[in-house]
């Protein structure tokens, strides 16, 4: 297998001369190829076979202990002008970056196989999809890309028809943290990653292509590449409406994507289109249409259980690649929160000792095809995508943000997303309650200056005659004792129902300076053990806190200087003025 595309053939030849592999393999994405690569890694020890009676088709990979997560401080956006990358990105001059990377790649594949991995992000037959080619020397990357993308022959055929693709060059190198860089060249649709075998740094179709490069590509082509789940909500009458949602980490993103309706909601169904990334395109009908560019899940394992996420738990019992989990005495995968079994061997292959810390690495992962998800949407492969009725932004806030509010309009919604923030937990940072701004949950992933990104969102709104309504949710409001007021998990469907009712004009709301709030009866509380006082607390806003919040948002916006769109600052001033007017009216 090779290619009729001269640009691709020339690039592969250039990379081979630079990296000097022993052989070149063009990946076709077949089951036979996948089996051969798995057998090869089982023989080399790069994969370990798990208990095939309890977990058929499941394997374990242990990564280098110094290579277990994304390396944001070594991830660069290399635009020709530094201001185009913005203060939200690490920047390096493209010429300097290429020189550094070519030096690292020289001869790095000697004794190894160079794999050419053509892939499509999104359904192969969709005009909304985009293709790429990753060159890698890691068979682990190849088998993961087969599960995470539409990889192989069909993708290559589309590349040959269209002639365009994102170039991604990857090598695990020596796995030396001092020789590890992930470079993005968005103006050239190119990625270079060296020195890491970890998924977020090595599976270049995921964050590197589908967000950093695609966000830049989307800006020039008039669409949005977002760090969002896509979920379909089917009512008892059989009508399905779709919601996209952006949350920072530890805010319930995957649980919402695979939500199980509570027993009080008979006849309701939830359909997962995607759990992590959404590509959103203005349609000819004036609505926003979305596809999930991914074909699988690369999820965090710890905490996954039949209680927290039954669908995720069920789907990873077969045909799953695990990375850095522990194993039991009978060789079943184990992680903190699983509840069943006991760890015998930790994620580094040592006898488990609780004094050394967690048995599974906190960022241990599963890779599995989306077809394994019991709640996978029938529209997951729809070439035209699904129409989005609402967009949710959310974060972890103990007091300032109510359970939910709706933006006044699209432009105000862009401000709501731009000002998104979440409070860190002590387990993650050592300091609880530190507020971090994470606009649209895209801080680590936007491939260009945030000010230009906000302007692009505003421009997209002008193209939509029927834009999605925009909401902000906060499942994490706390009472005076520090307990969560809202039960969360499946009960979040009650909030989603209010969202859809608002979209269809079937729910009343109370106007406030920050947006529209539900009435006390607006959220269905049937069979929900919650007092009226608790619901009042959930839906209340402290205007003093919000004045302080808006001041912090203003400071955050200030770092982007004159590039910040005036329309966004106009929306900002509207909220500030409304809060000040309420303060003056109350005399406080």
Does 255 belong to an annotated binding site?
yes
What is the rounded CA–CA span in Å between residue 473 and residue 425? 18
CA atoms within 13 A on the CB side of 457: 28
Does 30 belong to an annotated binding site?
no
Does 396 belong to an annotated binding site?
yes
> Cβ-count burial of 28 within 10 angstroms (0-12 exposed, 13-18 middle, 19+ buried)?
middle
Neighbouring residues of 336: CB distance < 8 A, sequence distance ≥ 6: 302, 303, 358, 359, 360, 362
What DSSP character marks residue 88?
T
What is the rounded CA–CA span in Å between residue 15 and residue 19? 6
What is the rounded CA–CA span in Å between residue 423 and residue 186? 31
CA atoms within 13 A on the CB side of 237: 2
Does 27 belong to an annotated binding site?
no
Token readout for 223 is 């669409």
Does 365 belong to an annotated binding site?
yes
If you count them, how many residues does the chain have? 588
What is the rounded CA–CA span in Å between residue 282 and residue 290? 9
Does 144 belong to an annotated binding site?
no
Does 249 belong to an annotated binding site?
yes
Does 363 belong to an annotated binding site?
yes
Residue 142: which of 113, 102, 121 has the closest Cα? Answer: 113
Active-site residue, 251 included: yes
Does 411 belong to an annotated binding site?
no
Does 215 belong to an annotated binding site?
no
Residue 290: which of 228, 205, 239 has the closest Cα? Answer: 228
Compute the Cα dihedral for 273, 70, 111, 12 and give only its sign.
positive
Residue 189: which of 220, 160, 162, 168 has the closest Cα? Answer: 168
What is the rounded CA–CA span in Å between residue 550 and residue 419? 8
**Which of these is catalytic: 78, 120, 251, 503?**
251
Does 227 belong to an annotated binding site?
yes
> Cβ-count burial of 69 within 10 angstroms (0-12 exposed, 13-18 middle, 19+ buried)?
middle
Does 58 belong to an annotated binding site?
no
Does 5 belong to an annotated binding site?
no
Please answer whether residues 97 and 76 qualify as being in contact, where contact means their C-beta atoms are separated by less than 8 angstroms: yes
Residue 514: which of 470, 587, 576 has the closest Cα? Answer: 576
Does 254 belong to an annotated binding site?
yes
> Cβ-count burial of 463 within 10 angstroms (0-12 exposed, 13-18 middle, 19+ buried)?
middle
Does 303 belong to an annotated binding site?
no
Does 490 belong to an annotated binding site?
yes
Which H or E run includes 34? helix 31-44
Q: Annotated binding residues, as ranges?
A: 70, 198-200, 207, 227, 249-255, 276, 363-365, 396, 489-492
Q: Annotated binding residues for GTP, as ranges?
A: 250-255, 365, 396, 489-492
Q: Which residues are catalytic?
A: 251
Q: Annotated binding residues for substrate, as ranges?
A: 70, 198-200, 249, 363-365
Q: Annotated binding residues for Mn(2+), as ranges?
A: 207, 227, 276
């Amino acid at each position: 297998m090779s290619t009729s595309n001269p640009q691709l053939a020339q690039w592969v030849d250039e990379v081979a001369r630079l990296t000097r592999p022993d052989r070149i393999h063009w990946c076709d994405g077949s089951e036979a190829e996948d089996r051969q690569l798995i057998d090869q890694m089982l023989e080399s020890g790069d994969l370990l076979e798990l208990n095939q009676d309890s977990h058929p088709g499941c394997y374990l990979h242990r990564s280098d202990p110094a290579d277990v997560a994304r390396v944001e401080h070594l991830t660069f956006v290399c635009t020709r002008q530094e201001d185009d990358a913005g203060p939200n990105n690490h920047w390096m001059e493209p010429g300097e970056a290429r020189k550094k990377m070519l030096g690292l790649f020289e001869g790095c594949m000697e004794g190894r196989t160079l794999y050419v991995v053509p892939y499509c992000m999104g359904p192969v037959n969709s005009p909304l999809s985009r293709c790429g080619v990753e060159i890698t020397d890691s068979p682990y990357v190849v088998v993961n890309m087969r599960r995470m993308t539409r990889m192989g022959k069909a993708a290559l055929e589309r590349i040959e028809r269209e002639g365009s693709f994102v170039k991604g060059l990857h090598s695990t190198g020596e796995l030396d943290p001092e020789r590890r860089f992930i470079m993005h060249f968005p103006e050239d649709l190119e990625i270079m990653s060296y020195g890491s075998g970890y998924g977020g740094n090595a599976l270049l179709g995921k964050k590197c292509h589908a967000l950093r490069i695609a966000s830049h590509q989307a800006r020039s082509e008039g669409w949005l590449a977002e760090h969002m789940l896509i979920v379909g909500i089917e009512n008892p009458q059989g009508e399905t409406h779709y919601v996209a949602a952006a949350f920072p980490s530890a805010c319930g993103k995957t649980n919402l994507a695979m939500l199980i309706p509570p027993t009080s909601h008979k006849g309701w169904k939830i359909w997962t289109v995607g759990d992590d990334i959404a590509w959103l395109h203005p349609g000819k009908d004036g609505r926003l249409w979305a596809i999930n560019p991914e074909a699988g899940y690369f999820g965090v394992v710890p905490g996954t259980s039949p209680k927290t996420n039954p669908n995720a738990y069920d789907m990873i019992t077969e045909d799953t690649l695990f990375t850095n989990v522990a194993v039991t005495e009978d060789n079943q995968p184990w992680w903190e929160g699983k509840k069943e079994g006991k760890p015998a061997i930790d994620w580094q292959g040592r006898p488990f000792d609780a004094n050394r810390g967690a048995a599974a690495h906190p960022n241990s992962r599963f890779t599995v095809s989306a077809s394994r998800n019991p709640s996978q949407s029938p529209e997951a492969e729809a070439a035209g995508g699904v129409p989005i009725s609402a967009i949710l932004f959310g974060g972890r806030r103990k007091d300032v943000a109510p359970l939910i509010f709706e933006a006044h309009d699209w432009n105000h919604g862009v401000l709501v997303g731009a000002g998104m923030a979440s409070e860190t937990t002590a387990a993650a940072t050592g300091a609880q309650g530190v507020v971090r701004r994470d606009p649209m949950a895209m801080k680590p992933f936007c491939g260009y200056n945030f000010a230009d990104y906000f302007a692009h969102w505003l421009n997209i709104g002008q193209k939509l005659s029927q834009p999605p309504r925009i909401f902000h949710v906060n499942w994490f409001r706390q009472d005076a004792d520090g307990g969560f007021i809202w039960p969360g998990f499946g009960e979040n469907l009650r909030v989603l129902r209010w969202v859809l009712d608002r979209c269809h004009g079937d729910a009343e709301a109370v106007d406030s300076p920050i947006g529209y709030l539900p009435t006390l009866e607006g959220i269905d509380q049937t069979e929900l053990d919650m007092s009226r006082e608790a619901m009042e607390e959930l839906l209340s806003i402290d205007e003093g806190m919000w004045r302080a919040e808006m001041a912090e948002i203003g400071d955050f916006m200030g770092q982007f200087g004159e590039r910040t769109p005036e329309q966004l600052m106009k929306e900002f001033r509207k909220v500030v003025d409304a809060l000040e007017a309420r303060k003056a009216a109350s005399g406080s």
